[in-house]
Amino acid sequence: MVEESPTNGPIKGVLKKKYGFEGAWKPCFCEFSSGELKIHSGLEDSPVETTIKITPSTVIHIVRDTLPTRFTIELENDKIYMFSTENSQDTNLWVHNLRSETYNGERLSMDDFNIISVLGKGKYGKVMLCEKKGTGEKVAIKSVKKKQIQKSQNFKAILSERNNLMRTNFPFIVRIKFAFQTSTKFYIGMEYIPGGELYHILYNHDINFSDCKLYLAEIALSLQYLHSRGIVYRDLKLENIMIAADGHIKLVDFGLSKDLSISNETSTFCGTIHYVAPELILQRPYSYQIDWWAFGIIACEILFGECPFYDANMTVEMEKILKEPPNFPEDGDDVTKDFISKFLIKRPSKRAKLEDMIKHPFWDDLDFNKVLEKGYKPEFMPKINDVKENFDKEFTDCPAIDSFCSPVNDSKLDISGFSFSEDEEEEIMPSSILTLDFIDPQI
Protein backbone atom coordinates (compact mmCIF):
# COMPACT_ATOMS: atom_id res chain seq x y z
CA MET A 1 0.00 0.00 0.00
CA VAL A 2 1.66 3.22 -1.18
CA GLU A 3 0.77 6.87 -0.90
CA GLU A 4 2.65 9.73 -2.50
CA SER A 5 2.69 13.19 -0.96
CA PRO A 6 4.91 15.88 -2.46
CA THR A 7 4.34 18.16 0.54
CA ASN A 8 5.78 15.66 3.06
CA GLY A 9 8.02 13.50 0.89
CA PRO A 10 7.79 11.53 -2.31
CA ILE A 11 6.56 8.21 -0.94
CA LYS A 12 5.05 6.74 2.19
CA GLY A 13 3.00 3.73 3.20
CA VAL A 14 2.85 0.53 5.22
CA LEU A 15 5.62 -2.05 4.69
CA LYS A 16 6.39 -5.24 6.57
CA LYS A 17 9.83 -5.23 8.20
CA LYS A 18 11.71 -8.34 9.29
CA TYR A 19 13.07 -8.20 12.83
CA GLY A 20 16.15 -10.37 13.37
CA PHE A 21 17.59 -13.13 11.17
CA GLU A 22 14.77 -15.53 11.93
CA GLY A 23 12.45 -12.96 13.45
CA ALA A 24 8.84 -12.11 12.72
CA TRP A 25 7.55 -9.80 10.02
CA LYS A 26 5.83 -6.75 11.50
CA PRO A 27 3.80 -4.03 9.69
CA CYS A 28 5.33 -0.58 10.06
CA PHE A 29 4.59 2.80 8.52
CA CYS A 30 7.53 4.09 6.44
CA GLU A 31 8.14 7.45 4.79
CA PHE A 32 10.97 8.41 2.48
CA SER A 33 11.86 12.09 2.05
CA SER A 34 15.03 14.11 1.38
CA GLY A 35 17.23 11.03 1.38
CA GLU A 36 15.94 9.66 4.70
CA LEU A 37 13.77 6.59 5.27
CA LYS A 38 11.89 6.90 8.56
CA ILE A 39 10.55 3.64 9.98
CA HIS A 40 7.79 3.85 12.58
CA SER A 41 7.39 1.24 15.32
CA GLY A 42 3.88 0.48 14.11
CA LEU A 43 1.28 2.24 11.99
CA GLU A 44 1.27 5.93 11.03
CA ASP A 45 0.57 7.40 14.48
CA SER A 46 3.35 5.40 16.16
CA PRO A 47 6.77 6.95 16.93
CA VAL A 48 9.72 6.73 14.54
CA GLU A 49 12.01 3.92 15.74
CA THR A 50 14.70 4.08 13.04
CA THR A 51 15.92 6.61 10.47
CA ILE A 52 18.04 5.28 7.60
CA LYS A 53 20.12 7.76 5.60
CA ILE A 54 20.23 6.66 1.94
CA THR A 55 23.56 7.59 0.30
CA PRO A 56 25.43 6.62 -2.90
CA SER A 57 27.09 3.80 -0.92
CA THR A 58 23.75 2.26 0.14
CA VAL A 59 22.99 -1.01 -1.68
CA ILE A 60 19.34 -1.75 -2.43
CA HIS A 61 18.37 -5.17 -3.78
CA ILE A 62 15.10 -6.68 -4.98
CA VAL A 63 14.74 -10.23 -3.67
CA ARG A 64 13.49 -12.30 -6.60
CA ASP A 65 11.17 -15.31 -6.56
CA THR A 66 9.58 -14.55 -3.19
CA LEU A 67 5.96 -14.05 -2.23
CA PRO A 68 5.26 -11.52 -0.87
CA THR A 69 7.84 -9.54 -2.82
CA ARG A 70 10.80 -8.22 -0.82
CA PHE A 71 13.69 -5.79 -0.98
CA THR A 72 16.73 -5.17 1.20
CA ILE A 73 18.71 -2.08 2.21
CA GLU A 74 22.38 -2.70 3.00
CA LEU A 75 24.33 0.08 4.73
CA GLU A 76 28.09 0.79 4.81
CA ASN A 77 28.35 -0.86 8.25
CA ASP A 78 26.99 -4.09 6.67
CA LYS A 79 23.69 -3.77 8.51
CA ILE A 80 20.83 -5.11 6.38
CA TYR A 81 17.15 -4.19 6.61
CA MET A 82 14.58 -6.40 4.86
CA PHE A 83 11.09 -5.27 3.85
CA SER A 84 8.15 -6.87 2.05
CA THR A 85 5.32 -5.29 0.06
CA GLU A 86 1.93 -6.46 -1.17
CA ASN A 87 3.08 -6.90 -4.77
CA SER A 88 5.98 -6.47 -7.19
CA GLN A 89 4.76 -3.10 -8.47
CA ASP A 90 4.91 -1.55 -5.00
CA THR A 91 8.36 -3.09 -4.48
CA ASN A 92 9.61 -1.43 -7.65
CA LEU A 93 8.08 1.90 -6.67
CA TRP A 94 9.90 1.90 -3.32
CA VAL A 95 13.15 0.69 -4.91
CA HIS A 96 12.99 3.32 -7.67
CA ASN A 97 12.60 6.10 -5.10
CA LEU A 98 15.25 4.79 -2.71
CA ARG A 99 17.78 4.16 -5.47
CA SER A 100 17.32 7.70 -6.78
CA GLU A 101 19.49 8.80 -3.82
CA THR A 102 22.20 6.22 -4.58
CA TYR A 103 22.74 7.10 -8.22
CA ASN A 104 25.98 9.06 -8.52
CA GLY A 105 26.19 9.51 -12.29
CA GLU A 106 24.97 12.15 -14.68
CA ARG A 107 21.23 12.78 -14.64
CA LEU A 108 19.17 12.86 -17.79
CA SER A 109 18.28 16.31 -19.09
CA MET A 110 16.81 17.79 -22.24
CA ASP A 111 20.40 18.21 -23.47
CA ASP A 112 20.38 14.44 -24.04
CA PHE A 113 17.59 14.74 -26.64
CA ASN A 114 16.85 16.33 -29.99
CA ILE A 115 13.32 17.75 -30.09
CA ILE A 116 11.53 16.71 -33.29
CA SER A 117 8.03 18.07 -32.80
CA VAL A 118 5.37 19.18 -30.34
CA LEU A 119 2.66 16.49 -30.16
CA GLY A 120 0.22 18.12 -27.77
CA LYS A 121 -0.33 20.95 -25.31
CA GLY A 122 -2.21 21.23 -22.04
CA LYS A 123 -2.85 23.55 -19.12
CA TYR A 124 0.52 22.98 -17.44
CA GLY A 125 2.84 22.17 -20.34
CA LYS A 126 3.25 20.11 -23.49
CA VAL A 127 4.26 16.75 -24.94
CA MET A 128 7.22 16.65 -27.32
CA LEU A 129 8.45 13.94 -29.66
CA CYS A 130 12.18 13.62 -28.99
CA GLU A 131 15.09 11.52 -30.17
CA LYS A 132 17.77 10.31 -27.76
CA LYS A 133 21.20 11.47 -28.86
CA GLY A 134 23.54 8.59 -29.59
CA THR A 135 20.84 5.91 -29.86
CA GLY A 136 18.16 7.52 -32.05
CA GLU A 137 15.43 6.12 -29.79
CA LYS A 138 12.20 8.10 -30.11
CA VAL A 139 10.32 8.98 -26.93
CA ALA A 140 7.45 11.27 -25.95
CA ILE A 141 8.50 13.71 -23.22
CA LYS A 142 5.87 15.52 -21.20
CA SER A 143 7.12 18.78 -19.69
CA VAL A 144 5.16 20.43 -16.88
CA LYS A 145 5.90 23.97 -15.72
CA LYS A 146 6.44 24.23 -11.98
CA LYS A 147 5.12 27.79 -11.97
CA GLN A 148 1.77 26.61 -13.35
CA ILE A 149 1.55 23.92 -10.67
CA GLN A 150 2.39 26.54 -8.04
CA LYS A 151 -0.41 28.81 -9.29
CA SER A 152 -2.97 26.02 -9.20
CA GLN A 153 -1.67 24.60 -5.88
CA ASN A 154 -2.07 21.15 -7.46
CA PHE A 155 1.24 19.88 -6.09
CA LYS A 156 0.26 16.24 -6.03
CA ALA A 157 -0.74 15.84 -9.70
CA ILE A 158 2.68 15.39 -11.27
CA LEU A 159 3.89 12.93 -8.63
CA SER A 160 0.64 10.96 -8.88
CA GLU A 161 1.10 10.70 -12.64
CA ARG A 162 4.71 9.58 -12.32
CA ASN A 163 4.02 7.08 -9.54
CA ASN A 164 0.87 5.62 -11.08
CA LEU A 165 2.64 5.11 -14.39
CA MET A 166 5.51 3.41 -12.56
CA ARG A 167 3.02 1.09 -10.84
CA THR A 168 1.52 -0.09 -14.12
CA ASN A 169 2.81 -2.64 -16.59
CA PHE A 170 0.05 -3.55 -19.01
CA PRO A 171 -0.03 -4.06 -22.79
CA PHE A 172 -2.64 -1.34 -23.37
CA ILE A 173 -1.21 1.37 -21.08
CA VAL A 174 1.64 3.70 -22.05
CA ARG A 175 4.96 2.77 -20.43
CA ILE A 176 7.02 5.28 -18.51
CA LYS A 177 10.75 5.27 -19.36
CA PHE A 178 12.29 7.99 -17.20
CA ALA A 179 11.61 11.14 -15.22
CA PHE A 180 13.72 14.14 -14.24
CA GLN A 181 13.28 17.72 -13.06
CA THR A 182 14.95 21.12 -13.26
CA SER A 183 14.36 24.27 -11.23
CA THR A 184 11.61 25.23 -13.69
CA LYS A 185 9.96 22.01 -14.93
CA PHE A 186 9.16 18.37 -14.38
CA TYR A 187 9.75 15.95 -17.27
CA ILE A 188 8.22 12.50 -17.77
CA GLY A 189 9.52 10.34 -20.63
CA MET A 190 7.18 7.74 -22.13
CA GLU A 191 7.13 5.38 -25.05
CA TYR A 192 6.29 7.11 -28.34
CA ILE A 193 2.96 5.95 -29.77
CA PRO A 194 2.94 6.91 -33.47
CA GLY A 195 -0.63 6.13 -34.53
CA GLY A 196 -2.22 9.22 -33.04
CA GLU A 197 -5.43 9.74 -31.06
CA LEU A 198 -8.41 7.45 -31.49
CA TYR A 199 -10.52 10.62 -31.75
CA HIS A 200 -8.85 11.61 -35.03
CA ILE A 201 -8.78 8.05 -36.35
CA LEU A 202 -12.54 7.62 -35.89
CA TYR A 203 -13.12 11.01 -37.52
CA ASN A 204 -10.92 10.33 -40.56
CA HIS A 205 -11.40 6.59 -41.14
CA ASP A 206 -14.20 4.04 -41.34
CA ILE A 207 -13.34 1.55 -38.61
CA ASN A 208 -15.15 -1.79 -38.86
CA PHE A 209 -17.25 -3.21 -36.02
CA SER A 210 -14.72 -5.93 -35.13
CA ASP A 211 -11.98 -3.36 -34.57
CA CYS A 212 -14.34 -1.15 -32.56
CA LYS A 213 -15.25 -4.09 -30.35
CA LEU A 214 -11.56 -4.96 -29.91
CA TYR A 215 -10.74 -1.36 -28.92
CA LEU A 216 -13.50 -1.46 -26.29
CA ALA A 217 -12.27 -4.80 -24.93
CA GLU A 218 -8.72 -3.45 -24.62
CA ILE A 219 -9.96 -0.26 -22.92
CA ALA A 220 -12.14 -2.25 -20.52
CA LEU A 221 -9.28 -4.59 -19.60
CA SER A 222 -7.07 -1.56 -18.97
CA LEU A 223 -9.62 -0.02 -16.61
CA GLN A 224 -10.07 -3.32 -14.79
CA TYR A 225 -6.28 -3.57 -14.40
CA LEU A 226 -5.96 0.00 -13.09
CA HIS A 227 -8.74 -0.55 -10.58
CA SER A 228 -7.06 -3.77 -9.46
CA ARG A 229 -3.96 -1.66 -8.80
CA GLY A 230 -5.98 0.82 -6.73
CA ILE A 231 -5.98 3.52 -9.43
CA VAL A 232 -9.04 5.39 -10.72
CA TYR A 233 -8.22 6.86 -14.14
CA ARG A 234 -10.67 9.83 -14.05
CA ASP A 235 -9.97 11.14 -17.56
CA LEU A 236 -11.10 8.52 -20.06
CA LYS A 237 -11.86 10.19 -23.39
CA LEU A 238 -11.10 9.53 -27.05
CA GLU A 239 -8.20 12.01 -26.99
CA ASN A 240 -6.47 9.96 -24.28
CA ILE A 241 -6.63 6.71 -26.24
CA MET A 242 -3.77 6.32 -28.71
CA ILE A 243 -3.20 3.76 -31.44
CA ALA A 244 0.19 2.04 -31.40
CA ALA A 245 2.12 0.94 -34.48
CA ASP A 246 0.64 -2.57 -34.12
CA GLY A 247 -2.92 -1.21 -34.25
CA HIS A 248 -3.72 -1.83 -30.58
CA ILE A 249 -4.76 0.89 -28.13
CA LYS A 250 -2.73 2.57 -25.40
CA LEU A 251 -4.19 4.68 -22.59
CA VAL A 252 -2.16 7.85 -22.03
CA ASP A 253 -2.21 10.99 -19.86
CA PHE A 254 -2.39 10.02 -16.21
CA GLY A 255 -2.40 13.63 -15.00
CA LEU A 256 -5.78 13.18 -13.32
CA SER A 257 -5.34 9.59 -12.16
CA LYS A 258 -5.85 9.01 -8.45
CA ASP A 259 -4.44 6.31 -6.18
CA LEU A 260 -7.32 4.88 -4.14
CA SER A 261 -5.32 2.05 -2.56
CA ILE A 262 -5.61 3.74 0.84
CA SER A 263 -8.99 5.49 0.57
CA ASN A 264 -11.68 3.96 -1.61
CA GLU A 265 -13.35 7.28 -2.38
CA THR A 266 -12.34 10.77 -3.48
CA SER A 267 -14.24 13.97 -4.12
CA THR A 268 -12.12 16.14 -6.42
CA PHE A 269 -14.06 17.34 -9.48
CA CYS A 270 -12.11 16.47 -12.61
CA GLY A 271 -12.48 15.16 -16.13
CA THR A 272 -14.09 16.43 -19.33
CA ILE A 273 -17.78 17.42 -19.11
CA HIS A 274 -19.01 15.03 -21.85
CA TYR A 275 -17.64 12.09 -19.86
CA VAL A 276 -18.38 13.07 -16.25
CA ALA A 277 -20.62 10.80 -14.20
CA PRO A 278 -23.66 12.09 -12.28
CA GLU A 279 -21.92 11.75 -8.91
CA LEU A 280 -19.17 14.09 -10.14
CA ILE A 281 -21.68 16.77 -11.14
CA LEU A 282 -23.41 16.40 -7.76
CA GLN A 283 -20.00 16.73 -6.06
CA ARG A 284 -20.49 13.53 -4.14
CA PRO A 285 -17.66 11.18 -3.13
CA TYR A 286 -16.90 8.81 -5.97
CA SER A 287 -14.79 5.80 -6.79
CA TYR A 288 -13.96 3.47 -9.70
CA GLN A 289 -17.52 3.62 -11.05
CA ILE A 290 -16.84 6.99 -12.70
CA ASP A 291 -14.46 5.25 -15.11
CA TRP A 292 -17.19 2.79 -16.15
CA TRP A 293 -19.57 5.68 -16.84
CA ALA A 294 -16.91 7.25 -19.09
CA PHE A 295 -16.46 3.84 -20.72
CA GLY A 296 -20.18 3.85 -21.61
CA ILE A 297 -19.82 7.29 -23.21
CA ILE A 298 -16.72 6.13 -25.11
CA ALA A 299 -18.56 3.01 -26.31
CA CYS A 300 -21.40 5.14 -27.67
CA GLU A 301 -18.97 7.44 -29.48
CA ILE A 302 -17.00 4.56 -30.98
CA LEU A 303 -20.02 2.49 -32.04
CA PHE A 304 -22.58 5.18 -32.91
CA GLY A 305 -20.39 8.21 -33.59
CA GLU A 306 -22.12 10.49 -31.09
CA CYS A 307 -22.17 11.42 -27.40
CA PRO A 308 -25.43 10.21 -25.76
CA PHE A 309 -26.01 13.34 -23.62
CA TYR A 310 -24.40 16.00 -25.81
CA ASP A 311 -25.73 19.55 -25.85
CA ALA A 312 -24.00 22.73 -27.02
CA ASN A 313 -25.08 24.30 -23.71
CA MET A 314 -22.95 22.80 -20.94
CA THR A 315 -25.60 23.40 -18.26
CA VAL A 316 -28.22 21.60 -20.33
CA GLU A 317 -25.81 18.73 -20.96
CA MET A 318 -25.22 18.32 -17.22
CA GLU A 319 -28.99 18.27 -16.66
CA LYS A 320 -29.29 15.52 -19.27
CA ILE A 321 -26.55 13.50 -17.58
CA LEU A 322 -28.38 13.78 -14.26
CA LYS A 323 -31.97 13.22 -15.38
CA GLU A 324 -32.37 11.83 -18.89
CA PRO A 325 -31.74 8.40 -20.44
CA PRO A 326 -28.98 8.17 -23.05
CA ASN A 327 -29.98 9.26 -26.53
CA PHE A 328 -29.16 6.50 -29.03
CA PRO A 329 -29.63 6.51 -32.83
CA GLU A 330 -32.97 5.01 -33.84
CA ASP A 331 -31.25 2.51 -36.13
CA GLY A 332 -28.88 1.30 -33.40
CA ASP A 333 -29.23 -2.40 -32.67
CA ASP A 334 -30.84 -3.42 -29.37
CA VAL A 335 -27.93 -5.57 -28.15
CA THR A 336 -25.45 -2.71 -28.50
CA LYS A 337 -27.82 -0.19 -26.90
CA ASP A 338 -28.45 -2.53 -23.98
CA PHE A 339 -24.70 -3.05 -23.54
CA ILE A 340 -23.95 0.68 -23.42
CA SER A 341 -26.95 1.45 -21.19
CA LYS A 342 -25.66 -0.83 -18.44
CA PHE A 343 -22.61 1.43 -18.04
CA LEU A 344 -24.74 4.61 -18.03
CA ILE A 345 -26.87 3.84 -14.99
CA LYS A 346 -27.14 6.97 -12.83
CA ARG A 347 -26.67 5.22 -9.49
CA PRO A 348 -23.01 4.18 -9.11
CA SER A 349 -23.79 1.05 -7.08
CA LYS A 350 -25.99 -0.27 -9.92
CA ARG A 351 -23.61 0.67 -12.74
CA ALA A 352 -21.96 -2.17 -14.67
CA LYS A 353 -18.26 -2.95 -14.75
CA LEU A 354 -16.45 -5.37 -17.03
CA GLU A 355 -16.78 -8.40 -14.79
CA ASP A 356 -20.58 -7.90 -14.79
CA MET A 357 -20.67 -7.72 -18.59
CA ILE A 358 -18.08 -10.31 -19.61
CA LYS A 359 -20.78 -12.65 -20.95
CA HIS A 360 -22.99 -9.99 -22.54
CA PRO A 361 -24.01 -10.97 -26.10
CA PHE A 362 -22.39 -7.77 -27.38
CA TRP A 363 -18.98 -9.44 -27.09
CA ASP A 364 -20.23 -12.43 -29.10
CA ASP A 365 -17.39 -14.98 -29.23
CA LEU A 366 -14.57 -12.61 -28.21
CA ASP A 367 -11.92 -14.43 -26.15
CA PHE A 368 -10.62 -12.02 -23.49
CA ASN A 369 -7.53 -14.09 -22.79
CA LYS A 370 -6.69 -13.78 -26.47
CA VAL A 371 -7.34 -10.02 -26.29
CA LEU A 372 -4.93 -9.75 -23.37
CA GLU A 373 -2.25 -11.57 -25.35
CA LYS A 374 -2.84 -9.37 -28.44
CA GLY A 375 -4.00 -12.47 -30.24
CA TYR A 376 -6.42 -10.52 -32.43
CA LYS A 377 -4.86 -8.41 -35.19
CA PRO A 378 -6.77 -5.18 -35.89
CA GLU A 379 -7.69 -4.61 -39.51
CA PHE A 380 -6.92 -0.90 -39.24
CA MET A 381 -3.19 -0.21 -39.09
CA PRO A 382 -1.99 3.39 -38.83
CA LYS A 383 0.14 4.73 -41.67
CA ILE A 384 3.41 6.06 -40.32
CA ASN A 385 5.29 7.62 -43.22
CA ASP A 386 6.27 10.58 -41.07
CA VAL A 387 6.72 10.50 -37.29
CA LYS A 388 4.28 13.37 -36.73
CA GLU A 389 1.71 12.84 -39.49
CA ASN A 390 -0.91 11.33 -37.16
CA PHE A 391 -0.92 14.28 -34.78
CA ASP A 392 -2.81 17.58 -34.91
CA LYS A 393 -1.11 20.26 -37.02
CA GLU A 394 -2.19 22.79 -34.42
CA PHE A 395 0.55 21.28 -32.26
CA THR A 396 3.06 19.90 -34.77
CA ASP A 397 3.35 23.36 -36.39
CA CYS A 398 4.48 24.84 -33.06
CA PRO A 399 8.20 25.57 -32.61
CA ALA A 400 10.04 22.39 -31.61
CA ILE A 401 11.75 23.88 -28.56
CA ASP A 402 11.80 23.39 -24.81
CA SER A 403 10.55 26.85 -23.92
CA PHE A 404 12.19 28.96 -21.24
CA CYS A 405 10.38 29.76 -18.00
CA SER A 406 11.53 31.30 -14.74
CA PRO A 407 12.53 29.17 -11.73
CA VAL A 408 10.16 28.60 -8.83
CA ASN A 409 11.21 29.25 -5.24
CA ASP A 410 9.08 26.61 -3.55
CA SER A 411 10.54 23.65 -1.67
CA LYS A 412 7.36 21.61 -2.28
CA LEU A 413 8.23 21.60 -5.99
CA ASP A 414 11.76 20.26 -5.50
CA ILE A 415 10.71 16.64 -5.05
CA SER A 416 13.45 14.36 -3.75
CA GLY A 417 13.50 11.03 -5.57
CA PHE A 418 11.47 12.22 -8.57
CA SER A 419 14.17 11.42 -11.15
CA PHE A 420 14.87 7.93 -12.46
CA SER A 421 15.81 6.14 -15.67
CA GLU A 422 14.88 2.61 -16.65
CA ASP A 423 18.49 2.19 -17.83
CA GLU A 424 19.76 2.42 -14.26
CA GLU A 425 16.89 0.60 -12.52
CA GLU A 426 15.61 -2.94 -12.30
CA GLU A 427 13.07 -3.73 -14.96
CA ILE A 428 9.54 -3.19 -13.67
CA MET A 429 8.21 -6.70 -13.35
CA PRO A 430 4.84 -7.65 -14.86
CA SER A 431 2.13 -7.71 -12.22
CA SER A 432 0.29 -10.91 -11.42
CA ILE A 433 -2.85 -8.92 -12.20
CA LEU A 434 -2.07 -9.52 -15.88
CA THR A 435 -3.91 -12.80 -15.33
CA LEU A 436 -7.36 -11.43 -14.60
CA ASP A 437 -9.21 -13.73 -12.23
CA PHE A 438 -12.68 -12.87 -13.52
CA ILE A 439 -11.93 -14.12 -17.05
CA ASP A 440 -13.30 -17.58 -17.70
CA PRO A 441 -10.84 -19.46 -19.95
CA GLN A 442 -13.81 -21.12 -21.63
CA ILE A 443 -15.37 -17.84 -22.81
List binding-site positions for ATP.
Answer: 146
Q: How far apart are CA 31 and CA 130, in angstroms?
A: 35
432, 90 in Cβ contact below 8 A? no
Q: How far apart are CA 81 and CA 243, in angstroms?
A: 44
What 8-state DSSP symbol labels residue 348? G
Give the annotated binding-site residues: 146
Q: How far apart are CA 92 and CA 204, in angstroms?
A: 41
Distance between terminal CA atoms of the chain? 33
Q: Annotated catalytic residue: which of 235, 253, 259, 291?
A: 235
Cα 414 versus chain centre, distance: 22
DSSP letters for 239-297:
GGEEE-TTS-EEE---TT-EE-SS-S-B----S-GGG--HHHHTT--B-THHHHHHHHH
Integer angstrom CA distances of residue 336 from 185, 322, 329: 45, 22, 11
Q: Is the peptide bond before 68 cis (omega within 30 degrees of 0)?
A: yes
Of the candidates 127, 165, 189, the residue with the CA atom closest to the CA atom of residue 251: 165
Is 90 a residue of the active site? no
| Residues annotated as catalytic (active site), given as ranges | 235
